[in-house]
Amino acid sequence: MTGGLRPRPAGRPAARPRLDPRRVAVARLGAEAVLLDLQTYRATRANAAAALILRLANGCRDEAALAAALAAEFGVPLRRAQNDVRQLVGALARRGLLAPGAG
């Protein structure tokens, strides 16, 4: 496949990710952010790139749009931005932090 995101493996969340406000709180700290899992009380620091993705992941943008915004903001190749978005969305999904049925 050229130029796009790879197909979603079975079990992946909807292509328009959105954080589940019942499961996670996000505090912005300048360009960075901190995520707090409201069930485990596990805090995770998000660098500026991850914080941008988190801010834009509101259920209105698909992974391709998130990657395009990341590439534009940080001047990185689109393929790298696509990989970063895919990894972050996957990690959020594995931790149960995405809203069910977002998309």
Phi, psi (rounded to 5 degrees) for 6: -65, 155
Report the b/e string of 40-68 with b at 16+ CB within 10 A.
Answer: eeeebebeebbbbbbebbeeebbbbebbb
pTM for this prediction: 0.81
Does position 96 have pLDDT exceeding 90, yes or no?
Answer: yes
Is residue 11 packed enough to be buried (19+ CB in 10 Å), middle (13-18) or exposed (0-12)?
exposed
Does position 12 have pLDDT exceeding 60, yes or no?
Answer: no
Instruction: Kindly report, residue by residue over 18-49, the tens digit of the pLDDT.
Output: 999 999 999 999 999 999 999 999 999 999 99
Instruction: Kindly report, residue by residue over 49-85, the tens digit of the pLDDT.
Output: 999 999 999 999 999 999 999 999 999 999 999 999 9
Domain boundaries, given as residue ranges, for the chain: 24-94
When pLDDT is cut at 50, 70 and 90, the band that residue 15 belongs to is: confident
For residue 73 the two structure tokens come to 């903001």
CATH class of 24-94: mainly alpha
